[in-house]
Copies of this chain bind each other. A is one copy, B any other.
Amino acid sequence: MSRVTIVPEEDRLTTQIAFAVEIDKLKRIIRRNLLIDGSRRENDAEHSWYAATLAMVLGEHAPPGTDVQHVIAMLLVHDLVEIDAGDTFIYDPVAVAEQAEAERAAADRIFAILPAEQGARLRALWDEFEARETDEARFAKAIDRFAPILANHHTEGGTWPLFKVTAAQVREKVRVIAEGSPSLGAYARELVESSVANGHLPE
Residue from the list B20, B43, B58, B76 in contact with A46, Cβ < 8 A:
B43
Q: Chain B residues near A52 (CB, 8 Å)?
A: 49, 52, 72, 76
Q: A92 on the interface (CB 8 Å rule)?
A: no
Contact with B along A157-200 (1 / 0, CB 8 A): 00000000000000000000000000110110011011001000
Q: Smallest Cβ distance from A106 to chain B, in angstroms?
A: 16
Contact indicator B49/A21 (Cβ below 8 Å): no
Per the CB 8 Å criterion, the residue count for chain A at the interface is: 60
Contact indicator B183/A53 (Cβ below 8 Å): no
Question: Which 7 residue pairs of A and B lie closest in terms of their CB atoms, listed nearest first?
Answer: A49-B49, A45-B46, A24-B36, A3-B194, A69-B69, A46-B46, A4-B190
Spell out A's residues near B (CB within 8 Å): 1-5, 9-10, 12-14, 16-17, 19-21, 23-28, 35-37, 39, 42-43, 45-46, 48-50, 52-54, 56-58, 60-61, 69, 72-73, 76-77, 114, 118, 122, 150-151, 154, 183-184, 186-187, 190-191, 193-194, 197
